[in-house]
Amino acid sequence: MGDARPRQRKFAPRSRQGCLTCRTRRKRCDGQRPECQNCTRLNMECEWQQKRQIVSEPSVSSIESMQMVLDKLSPLKTHVDPWEALPGDEHSEKKHLLRYYIEAMVPSISVATTASSFYTSLYIPMAFQSEGMLDAIMAMSSAQLARRTTDSDRAQHLRDLSAKHQSRCHLFLRDRISPDGRPVKDPYQIIGITMLLVGLEALNGTKSTKWLSQIQCARKVLSTLYLEHNDTDSWEVDSLRRHVTYHDVMASLMIGVAKPEKHSAEVDFSTVFTPESSQTIDPLMGISYYLCSLICRIQYISTSTPAFPHLTQAAFDSLERDIQQWVYDSPLFYPGIDLTHALDLIALAEAYRLAALIQLYRTSDAHKHLIAPLASRTIQFISRIPPGSPAESSMLYPIFLAGAELVSESDITNCFQRLKAIQERNRYENVASVREVLQEVWKPCLNGGQKRDWEEILKDWNWSFTLG
């Protein structure tokens, strides 16, 4: 496995996507149009990539236009929860849930709300042309809204509504995926809808391997795009690739407890594409996109009886070095990110780095003595992120891996209280699953015994949940 570590670079203002000339020369572009400074200085032709579309020109093709449509609704009431009232007719109900998705749900699950977020910039325009994507958004919005309502009848109506839209999504996908998992048509929509459904499984607290099968399907469709299409450099594909990478991190963690017939790592997706320095703050991974692509590789070297032990050790050493030496761009240079938010994103990135090393070292007996100190340091970085910070929305991966290795009673108490507060805020059922497993891990340790391993507990309980 080669060393894909990005070079340390000086920070400079830049656009989210540079000109084609700079990208071809692999130079940092300042994004100035119509001609960037590099091309002007070298007297070169400054070419820009034409915008690509994955659907035909929609009648409402942007978030701003969509907001104009939503603004035709009656103004929201200014009581404590503006989402408490649900319109009676189906058409108004869809508009209400769309508004909730944009204004409440997406910010609640994003480490940063940016104009380039695929949740809004890609999936919303796609929903105006695809019933399947619209159903996926409706399923997610109604499921989350059901958890914040105080009216039991309304909550049940929203749960039923979510289940109805989820069933429609499955029918939509069934018509577009062949029996061998290859896309028959609409591959972009297949990936986006599937990733939203994985998020729905996290929200509902699914403990089966269903979500692993969904990720495997999305991964296969994405790999097909690389083999059969020539537009894999478009921002749409990059957005879908990011979404898959994030959930693939969670899949890499649970591969050891999933039954082989349910999930198998057929394709090392991380070898298909290794991202360079990030050009945007991802809504789920923040500034850790490259690191997450490294984490996805851990599942392919974590075997107790490798066929080629020397190659496995070389892959381990290379991956360890890449994780330790990973360098990220400062989030301060991104628009809309203030100092406090930037520090939270950096703390989250460092927590992910340490958690990645914990996951890697769990595969090596020679490195397991390093895990406990890493867990304590991870909790220290997590404690730097204040409760309610947007960065908290993607904290479950590091807090679970670190929490399962804690030995200090004070660290365990702090970890438990933080998880409790997170669940009260985001109402995701997979947080409750994490708390339940960690309590089982800690129970013997707090009573003076030997703590249990979380993988053994999940195998005993036949559980498999996503930390997304």
Model confidence pLDDT, tens digit, residues 267-293:
444 444 556 555 678 999 999 999 999
Backbone angles phi, psi at 155, to 5 degrees: -65, -40
Q: What is the 3-state secondary structure (H, E, C) of the chain?
A: CCCCCCCCCCCCCCCCCCCHHHHHHCCCCCCCCCCCHHHHHHCCCCCCCCCCCCCCCCCCCCHHHHHHHHCCCCCCCCCCCCCCCCCCCHHHHHHHHHHHHHHHHHHHHCCCCCCCCHHHHCHHHHHCCCHHHHHHHHHHHHHHHHCCCCCHHHHHHHHHHHHHHHHHHHHHHHCCECCCCCECCCHHHHHHHHHHHHHHHHHHCCCCCHHHHHHHHHHHHHHHHHHHCCCCCCHHHHHHHHHHHHHHHHHHHHCCCCCCCCCCCCCCHHHHCCCCCCCCCECCCECCHHHHHHHCCHHHCCCCCCCCHHHHHHHHHHHHHHHHHCCCCCHHHCCCCCHHHHHHHHHHHHHHHHHHHHHHHCCCHHHHHHHHHHHHHHHHHHHCCCCCCHHHHHCHHHHHHHHCCCCCHHHHHHHHHHHHHHHHHHCCHHHHHHHHHHHHHHHHHHCCCCCCCHHHHHHHHCCCCCCC
Confidence of residue 4 (pLDDT cuts 50, 70, 90): low
pLDDT on residue 304? 53
Judge whether 113 and 390 are in contact, CB under 8 Å: yes
Q: Exposed e or buried b for every residue in 162-188, given b needs 16+ CB within 10 A?
A: beebbebbeebbeebbeeeeebeebbb
Confidence of residue 190 (pLDDT cuts 50, 70, 90): very high
Judge whether 100 and 141 are in contact, CB under 8 Å: yes
Q: Is the pTM of this model over 0.75?
A: yes
Model confidence pLDDT, tens digit, residues 47-93:
877 654 444 444 444 445 555 544 444 443 333 355 566 666 778 88
Q: Of all residues in the chain, what percent carry a pLDDT higher than 70?
A: 80
Model confidence pLDDT, tens digit, residues 336-349:
888 999 999 999 99
From the CB of residue 192, how many other CB atoms can be counted at a distance below 10 Å? 29
CATH number of 1-49: 4.10.240
- CATH 4.10.240 boundaries in the chain: 1-49
Confidence of residue 461 (pLDDT cuts 50, 70, 90): very high
pLDDT on residue 55? 46
From the CB of residue 105, how many other CB atoms can be counted at a distance below 10 Å? 22
